[in-house]
Amino acid sequence: MANLNPTERPAAAAGADPPGTHAGMVSRRPPEHLPATPASAGRTGLAVEARGVRKSFGDQVVLDGVDLDVIEGTVFALLGPNGSGKTTTVRILSTLLAADAGEIRVAGHDIAREPDSVRAAIGVTGQFSAVDKLLTGRENLMMMADLAHLGRADGRRRAADLLDRFDLSGAAGKMAATYSGGMRRRLDLAMTLVGAPRIVFLDEPTTGLDPRGRHAMWQIIRGLAADGVTILLTTQYLEEADQIADRIAVLDHGIFVAEGSPEQLKARVPGGHIRLQFTDPQQLETAARLLANAGRDDETLSLQVPSDGTVATLRALLYRLDQHTIDIQGLSIHTPDLDDVFFAVTGHPTASEDNQR
Amino acid sequence: MTAAHAARDTATMLRRNLRHMQRYPGVPVMMVMLPVMFLLLFVYVFGATLGNGLGHGLGGRGVYVNYVSPAIILLTVASSATATAIGVAIDMTEGIVDRFRTMAIWRPSVLAGHVLGSMIQTLLAVAVVIGVALLVGFRPTAGAAAWLATVGFLAMITLALTWLGVALGVVAKTVGTASNTPMFLILLVFLGSGFVPTASMPTGLRQFATYQPFTAFTDTVRGLLTSGPTGGHAAVSAAWCAGIAVAGYLWAVARYNRGPAQASAQ
């Protein structure tokens, strides 16, 4: 459950819900691509430029025509559930996997024709630890410095810098096998940064981290962005994308279903919803007629009522139900999370294979 | 990608692998233990009888230790493929190789680093095994030149077998598979002239034993160390090594460049 920072809530969420907003929540909207680039940016302003990227494994279509523009110096988040194609996208953009179709330029180089020029410009931290566990933290960084063809003194300085910046100086002489998950993740990212890449790909950088580790990782990513590094990251959490990304693309079964700034996306799910649980279909029917803007689920006998989740609106809702003598079995309050964004832009819940067409 | 970069990247990978051997000495220790065990078994348990068979009833243990020691040395060399395959497979199953793949480095350096590391490890293991053989009565008659030739010859075989080991490590889906598939090389030492003369074997087996590479390897090492004839065995060995090395290299690099064995489904 994501908790959006209250100060960052879109204005719409604070007052009454605008009536037109929820019509789209129950029906599938066509994907809406908001303009990604100012017209003046042109080709040179793009760190990543992808058109019509397709990839299948056997008869399983993983990416079904993805277009992607990432402006230099921005943080771009690919948001989606497991199996939506996030990791495949990162693996293709980082030259690990060849796309079946599509045109991709990374750092201005065609990925199929000049993979080594792309590799020289990027840094990649995958989902699975890519540190050498039998080397110490410092040795791992020195190895990366050697592979980046830095001089001995430069490499040592760079390693010391990164150890310091990532709070690993104390463990620099210990084997990475002894590191905690958070330390290993930081070392992983530090190794990615040794060669000072202009574009960094991060595949679920905070998965498996505790809240403290997650916040530390966000700080690091913000710091990189402040230095002008372009970052493309994947995440399953709206909160995370909201916290660190300039733009978010929502990926669902290999296609982008929505793209925009965190504010634009959140405006589509103003304030989340209240879920009402019924025992009796008759009661559900009455309530659904009363609350016309609610999403209805006959299978589970529940209603999803758009709401900002404040006590006042909750009280008003209960009062209304009471007045019409509608009994509810249970109620839960949901602040907007990935599920809401998903529901809003696709009309179906996340990660449910049954909903796959 | 210049040759200097290729050399530098390979040296970086070699340093990495040498550190691994230092920190995780299980594989190097196994490489010494296995041949030493066979040496002691064959010298002290079977040695007297087998030696008598070789020396027409008069040889005994002393004759057999000289006969079997070259085979024990080759057993050590053969196990280098196993050690290499394990090291490569561990790399391939962890995230680090994906990291290397996304870097602008000389691609085969990851594999070449394993080969060079394994060669160093194998030659050190061979030195220890020869030391033990000397302790239990091995009395080579080779001079300095013959010793030098032996070292060069063993290095050539190791180079070929480690590239084969790299290939077997790259194609293995698990580390367990990688530690099993190169075992047939150790069997080849037995199914040749290593422990008994091939002439004593039944026809089908004898024909196989005569023409398989380890017979040529064993006969060459035995000839060099005991001042016997090496005949055409050295040339045959060189041809085998060239073939194995080239095939292993091409197979390994092709599979490595093709990308991860198990494509991620998401």
pLDDT for residue A80 is more than 80: yes
Q: Token match 């509810």: residue?
A: A328
* Residue A148 near residue A138, CB atoms below 8 Å: no
A282 by Cβ neighbours in 10 Å (0-12 / 13-18 / 19+) ranks as exposed
**Torsion of Cα atoms, A23 then A25 then A26 then A31, to 10°:** 100
Least confident of A297-311, B31-45, B68-82, B197-211: A297-311
User: In the prediction, which pLDDT does B1 show?
Assistant: 58
From the CA of A179, how many Å to the nearest CA of chain B? 16
Mean pLDDT of B205-233: 90
Least confident of A88-97, A263-272, A293-302, B219-228: A263-272
Specify the amino acid at residue B237. Answer: S
Asked if A124 lies within 8 A of B99 by C-beta distance, the reply is yes
Contacts of B20 in chain A (CB under 8 A): 134
User: Tens digits of per-residue pLDDT, A257-271?
Assistant: 888 888 888 777 666
Question: Pairing mode, if any, of strands A60-71 and A230-235?
Answer: unpaired
Question: Pairing mode, if any, of strands A330-334 and A230-235?
Answer: unpaired
Structure tokens given for B110:
């990851």
User: In the prediction, which pLDDT does A35 show?
Assistant: 42
Contacts of A129 in chain B (CB under 8 A): 94-95
Residue B218 lies in a domain: yes
User: Tens digits of per-residue pLDDT, B109-143?
Assistant: 999 999 999 999 999 999 999 999 999 999 999 89
Specify the amino acid at residue A256. Answer: F
From the CA of B96, how many Å to the nearest CA of chain A? 4
Mean pLDDT of A314-336: 86
pTM score? 0.78
pLDDT for residue A118 is more than 80: yes
CATH code for the domain defined by A273-334: 3.30.70
User: In the prediction, which pLDDT does A13 show?
Assistant: 37
From the CA of B259, how many Å to the nearest CA of chain A? 7
When CB atoms are compared, the residue of B8, B96, B263 closest to A130 is B96
User: Tens digits of per-residue pLDDT, B164-186?
Assistant: 999 999 999 899 999 999 999 99
Asked if B260 lies within 8 A of A96 by C-beta distance, the reply is yes
Backbone angles phi, psi at B76, to 5 degrees: -60, -45
* In chain B, % of residues over pLDDT 70: 96
Interface check B173 vs A, CB under 8 A: no
User: In the prediction, which pLDDT does A312 show?
Assistant: 85
Residues 6+ apart with CB under 8 A from A214: A206, A240
The secondary structure of residue A357, as a DSSP letter, is: -
User: In the prediction, which pLDDT does A349 show?
Assistant: 64
Which of these, B196, B64, B74, B190, lies nearest to B136 by C-alpha position? B64
A contact set with B (CB within 8 A): 57, 60, 62, 82-88, 91, 94-97, 116-117, 119-120, 122-124, 126, 128-135, 139, 143, 146-149, 175, 191-192, 195
A-B CB pairs within 8 A amount to 82
| Whole-number Å distance between alpha carbons of B176 and B162 | 18
- Structural domain span for residue B190: 3-257
From the CA of B62, how many Å to the nearest CA of chain A? 44
Query: Which of A64, A66, A91, A234 is the best mutation test for B, with the most CBs of B within 10 A?
Result: A91
| Whole-number Å distance between alpha carbons of A119 and B136 | 55
User: In the prediction, which pLDDT does A338 show?
Assistant: 66
Mean pLDDT of B12-34: 91
Q: Around Cβ B215, how many Cβ atoms within 10 Å?
A: 22
Interface check B102 vs A, CB under 8 A: yes
Average pLDDT value over all residues in chain A = 82
| Residue of higher predicted confidence among A335 and B10 | B10
From the CA of A270, how many Å to the nearest CA of chain B? 30
| Whole-number Å distance between alpha carbons of A316 and B192 | 91
Residue B17 lies in a domain: yes
Contacts of A123 in chain B (CB under 8 A): 102
| Whole-number Å distance between alpha carbons of A184 and B99 | 14
| Whole-number Å distance between alpha carbons of A235 and A199 | 17
For A177, the closest chain B residue by CA position comes to B23
pLDDT for residue B40 is more than 90: yes
Interface check B263 vs A, CB under 8 A: yes
- Per-residue pLDDT band for A117 (boundaries 50, 70, 90) equals very high
pLDDT for residue A334 is more than 50: yes
Domain boundaries, chain A: 273-334
Asked if A149 lies within 8 A of B94 by C-beta distance, the reply is no
What Å distances lie between residue B125 and A70, A82, B32, B76, B260, CA to CA? Answer: 54, 48, 6, 7, 32
Interface check B25 vs A, CB under 8 A: no
Residue B266 lies in a domain: no
Least confident of A29-43, A173-187, A270-284, B136-150: A29-43
Instruction: Determine if residue B56 is left, alpha or beta; phi over 0 gives left, psi from -120 to 50 gives alpha, anything else beta.
Output: left
Structure tokens given for A285:
């029917």
Chain centre to alpha carbon of residue B30: 13
- Per-residue pLDDT band for A155 (boundaries 50, 70, 90) equals very high
Which of these, B33, B36, B85, B100, lies nearest to B260 by C-alpha position? B100
| Whole-number Å distance between alpha carbons of B183 and B141 | 31
When CB atoms are compared, the residue of B9, B20, B98 closest to A147 is B9
Complex-level ipTM:
0.85
* Residue A251 near residue A84, CB atoms below 8 Å: yes
Residue B265 lies in a domain: no
Structure tokens given for B65:
């230790």
| Whole-number Å distance between alpha carbons of A160 and A163 | 5
From the CA of A10, how many Å to the nearest CA of chain B? 33
- Please list the alpha-helical segments (H only) found in chain B: 3-23, 26-40, 47-54, 60-93, 96-101, 109-135, 144-171, 175-180, 183-190, 203-211, 213-225, 233-257
User: In the prediction, which pLDDT does B266 show?
Assistant: 34
Which of these, B220, B210, B199, lies nearest to B77 by C-alpha position? B220
- Per-residue pLDDT band for A131 (boundaries 50, 70, 90) equals very high
pLDDT for residue A124 is more than 80: yes
When CB atoms are compared, the residue of B102, B104, B105 closest to A124 is B102
Mean pLDDT of A157-178: 94
* Residue B241 near residue B159, CB atoms below 8 Å: yes
Contacts of A124 in chain B (CB under 8 A): 98-99, 102
Specify the amino acid at residue B91. Answer: D
Number of domains into which chain B is organized: 1
Least confident of A21-25, A177-181, A239-243: A21-25
User: In the prediction, which pLDDT does A243 show?
Assistant: 87
The secondary structure of residue A204, as a DSSP letter, is: S
Asked if B102 lies within 8 A of A134 by C-beta distance, the reply is no
Asked if B104 lies within 8 A of A116 by C-beta distance, the reply is yes
Chain centre to alpha carbon of residue B221: 14
| Whole-number Å distance between alpha carbons of B188 and B140 | 24
Query: Which of B94, B96, B109, B256 is the best mutation test for A, with the most CBs of A within 10 A?
Result: B96
User: In the prediction, which pLDDT does A271 show?
Assistant: 63
| Collapsed DSSP state (helix, strand, coil) of residue A54 | strand
Interface check B264 vs A, CB under 8 A: yes
Residue B262 lies in a domain: no
From the CA of B99, how many Å to the nearest CA of chain A? 6
Which of these, A337, A340, A281, lies nearest to A305 by C-alpha position? A340
- Per-residue pLDDT band for B259 (boundaries 50, 70, 90) equals low
- Per-residue pLDDT band for A10 (boundaries 50, 70, 90) equals very low
Structure tokens given for B134:
């000397």
pLDDT for residue A7 is more than 60: no
User: In the prediction, which pLDDT does B93 show?
Assistant: 87
Backbone angles phi, psi at B192, to 5 degrees: -140, -150
Asked if B8 lies within 8 A of A85 by C-beta distance, the reply is no
Asked if A86 lies within 8 A of B100 by C-beta distance, the reply is no
The secondary structure of residue B124, as a DSSP letter, is: H
Q: Around Cβ A128, how many Cβ atoms within 10 Å?
A: 13
A130 by Cβ neighbours in 10 Å (0-12 / 13-18 / 19+) ranks as buried
User: In the prediction, which pLDDT does A129 show?
Assistant: 83
* Residue B194 near residue B212, CB atoms below 8 Å: no
